[in-house]
Amino acid sequence: MPLDSYQWLNEPQLHDLARSIVISKPKTDFWQRTHYGFRRDDGHIWGRSVQGNFRVRALLQWNYRDQYDQCGLMCRIDENNWVKLSVEHEEEGTNKLGSVVTNYGYSDWATQAISQKVTSLAYEIRMIDGDLFLGYQQPDQIAAEDFIPIRVAHLHADFTTAFVGVYGCSPVGNGVQFGFSHFAIQELAA
């Protein structure tokens, strides 16, 4: 797809797409209601609209500083229905490799511990008839056909088009710097 078919949802404070480097705006996030009560839909996504089944992959590299800094992949129907896959920074202990699935305006969060020494991962989201398959690989394995699965989920909203791409946000900090490469969206047969 030509680059003019890609666009920002919520443009970040800085981006150099020629070098695939992004710095998010401070205090941005994607989350809806659950547990915390707040609604946030101001994180940043660089992507494009896709109809039907797809696979999106990218290699993300990050320089986390503040708690909850994150970057990864996102599939978004609207502010109430989406999924994101990323590593989220914790100030002490281990970071969280995980996903958030939001249906009808309520987010959930599923995680597993991952070392803070990890600063780059390859991610994949596949959507087949509304079912989502989320996985990751070590950076040198991005060409592998089978990503390590971490979640299977479903988006319940009726939709024909999803906005898919790389995302980042810094919920409590002053902005996170991240980069991406090997970014590819492939439409799949039914």
- pLDDT tens digits for 98-134? 999 999 999 999 999 999 999 999 999 999 998 999 9
Separation CA 150–CA 126 (nearest Å): 12
Query: CATH no. for residue 61?
Result: 2.60.120.200
CB-neighbour burial class of residue 85 (10 A; exposed 0-12, middle 13-18, buried 19+): buried
3 confidence band (pLDDT: 50, 70, 90): low
Number of domains in the chain: 1
- Mean pLDDT score, 11-38: 92
- Mean pLDDT score, 75-93: 95
Segments forming the whole domain that contains residue 56: 3-187
Sheet of 131-137: strand order equals: 14-16, 21-23, 177-187, 54-63, 120-128, 131-137, 148-154
The pLDDT, as a whole number, for residue 23 is 97
Helix, coil or strand: residue 153? strand
Tokens of 63: 């320089």
Q: Count CB-CB contacts under 10 A for residue 27.
A: 15
Q: Is residue 2's pLDDT more than 70? A: no
Q: What is the pLDDT of residues 150-179, one digit of tens each?
A: 999 999 988 989 999 999 999 999 999 999
